[in-house]
Structures are given as structure tokens and as C-alpha cells.
């Protein structure tokens, strides 16, 4: 069974500490709310009287209460959600990856101090204060999870996908990473080691996928267009331009 990795810098905080409200990133658009954890049948069962999941209902109730009491303003909440849904997303991370592929000095900086390297490109903000970049190699593939909830590097990847927050992914990513990768259609070369990184409230990870063959003449923008969100979580690999077009 694989062990869960934590960086040395996190050694003083070995517990999975969450000093943030747990529904911090669980506010979704209408479409996501309807499909929140549709296939997970936990011990608590389902509320079949509503389209919304139990979590979504609780978020709505909490939001209504906070608005009613005047603790938050609806416009501010909407602005926050819209920012991460439309202006901040995985394209930021893809540009970080593309830069690391063409600029060896930037890549070294990214691997040594991801927070500073990423911030230098202008990607800063909530849930991205302490970043760690991990690079895939032919010998090693990295995959990111938050076993406790849904910690995720918002400034570089936007809001987490629903599956990232599902109990199934959170438990299986640790117990059976090869099985999870197979479910995502990822075939690694035999002998490739898989390392699973458990995100915390303090540290968020960005996977630097391997640069595919046949991209020597590509511009940074062309390279970034090849880099999918999932490849930066580690549940996909970046395909060569011809393969990506198919």
C-alpha cells in the first residue's frame, strides 16, 4: 500500500489541520449542485425529497442565515464565486506548467519554492498561499488528493471538480491509486511509482506533468493549451498535440 506523502516543510504540522470553514469551497453553480456526489451511497443515505444533496442544502441554509444576520453580503459572495468560476481557472496552472517546460531556471525555482515562482506570474490569492510543485518523471507519477475534505490550489486550478470532493476519490486515491488512474484512463509505463500527496489547509500541490514528445516548436500558449486541469491533479497525463486532437 502506498504511503501518503508530505513535504519536509510540512513536518512541523503533521496533522491534517483545517482551520478554515469546511464549506469554503463547496458553493457551486446550479448544475454542480444537482450532481453533487450522485453515485456515493454513504451511511447517511440520501434525501430523495430534493434535487440538492445534503451538503448543498446545508450550504444554502448556512448562506441564508449569514445573509439574514448581515454577516455577509450577497453581492460579495456572488463576486467571489464568479471570480473563481470565470476569471481564475486551470489556465493559470497550465501557463505555469508551460513556463516550467521551456524555462529551466523557472522550473528549478518552481520546484524549490512554488509559492514564490507562481506568485511571480501574478497568480496569488486564497487557498494558494503555500504551494508545492511536484514533477512527474518516467520513474514517478504524482497524484493529489485531500483525504479529509477538498483542499485545492484555487489560484492555479480554479474551483475543484466534483469528483475531487467525492468520498470515493478521497479514499481510493490513497488505497488504490493505480486503480483510480486506470478509471481515469491513465496508463503509466510499467514500473512507474505513484506518489499520492495529501493536501491540507496549509499546503496545496500542483503536479507538473511531463512534456509530451513533438512539442519542440510550440509557443508557451500552445503548450499551455495541451495542459488539462486533471493533468495538474495527476489524474491525467498530457498527450502529444496529434493525440490530443483525436
Active centre residues (catalytic): 146, 149-151
CB of 183 to Fe ion, least distance (A): 22
Q: Which three cell numbers stand for residue 94?
A: 497550465
Give the E-state strand segments of the chain in sequence order.
4-5, 131-135, 140-145, 193-198, 204-208
* Comparison of 153 and 212: residue with beta carbon closer to Fe ion: 153
Site for Fe ion in 144-163 (CB under 5 A): 146, 148-149, 151
What is the layout of strands, in order, in the sheet containing 193-198? 4-5, 193-198, 140-145
CA–CA separation, 207 and 93 (whole Å)? 9
In this structure, what are the phi and psi dihedrals at residue 85, rounded to the nearest 5 degrees? Answer: -80, -30
Assigned C-alpha cell, 146:
485531500
Determine the 3-state secondary structure of 103 from DSSP.
coil
Give the nearest distance from C-beta 18 to Fe ion in angstroms: 6
Residue 88 CB burial class (10 angstroms; 0-12, 13-18, ≥19): buried
Closest distance between Fe ion and the C-beta of residue 146, in Å? Answer: 4
Residue 12 Cβ vs Fe ion, minimum distance, rounded to whole Å: 18
Q: Does 117 bind Fe ion (CB under 5 A)?
A: no
Candidates 34-42, 140-148, 207-215, 216-224; binding stretch for Fe ion (CB under 5 A): 140-148
- Total binding residues for Fe ion by CB under 5 A? 4
42-50, 121-129, 138-146, 186-194 -> range binding Fe ion (CB under 5 A): 138-146
Residue number, 17 or 64, with CB nearest to Fe ion: 17
Q: Which residues bind Fe ion (CB under 5 A)?
A: 146, 148-149, 151
Amino acid at each position: 500500500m502506498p504511503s501518503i506523502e508530505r513535504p519536509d516543510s510540512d513536518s512541523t504540522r503533521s496533522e491534517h489541520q483545517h482551520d478554515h470553514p469546511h464549506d469554503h469551497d463547496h458553493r457551486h453553480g446550479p448544475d454542480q449542485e444537482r450532481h453533487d456526489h450522485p453515485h456515493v451511497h454513504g451511511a447517511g443515505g440520501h434525501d430523495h425529497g430534493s434535487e440538492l444533496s445534503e451538503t448543498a442544502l446545508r450550504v444554502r441554509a448556512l448562506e441564508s442565515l449569514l445573509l439574514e444576520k448581515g454577516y455577509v453580503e450577497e453581492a460579495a459572495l456572488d463576486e467571489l464565486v464568479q471570480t473563481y468560476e470565470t476569471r481564475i481557472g486551470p489556465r493559470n496552472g497550465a501557463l505555469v506548467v508551460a513556463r516550467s517546460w521551456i524555462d529551466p531556471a523557472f522550473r528549478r525555482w518552481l520546484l524549490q519554492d512554488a509559492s514564490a515562482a507562481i506568485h511571480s506570474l501574478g497568480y496569488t490569492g486564497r487557498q494558494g498561499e503555500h504551494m508545492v510543485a511536484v514533477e512527474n518523471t518516467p520513474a514517478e507519477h504524482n497524484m493529489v488528493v485531500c483525504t479529509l475534505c477538498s483542499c485545492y490550489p484555487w489560484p492555479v486550478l480554479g474551483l475543484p471538480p466534483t469528483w475531487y470532493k467525492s468520498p470515493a476519490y478521497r479514499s481510493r486515491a490513497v488505497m488504490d491509486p493505480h486503480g483510480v488512474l486506470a478509471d481515469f484512463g491513465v496508463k503509466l509505463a510499467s514500473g512507474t511509482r505513484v506518489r499520492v500527496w495529501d493536501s491540507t489547509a496549509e499546503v496545496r500541490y500542483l503536479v507538473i506533468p511531463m512534456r509530451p514528445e513533438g512539442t519542440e516548436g510550440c509557443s508557451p500558449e500552445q503548450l499551455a493549451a495541451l495542459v488539462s486541469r486533471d493533468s495538474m491533479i495527476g489524474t491525467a497525463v498530457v498527450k502529444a498535440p496529434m493525440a490530443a486532437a483525436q
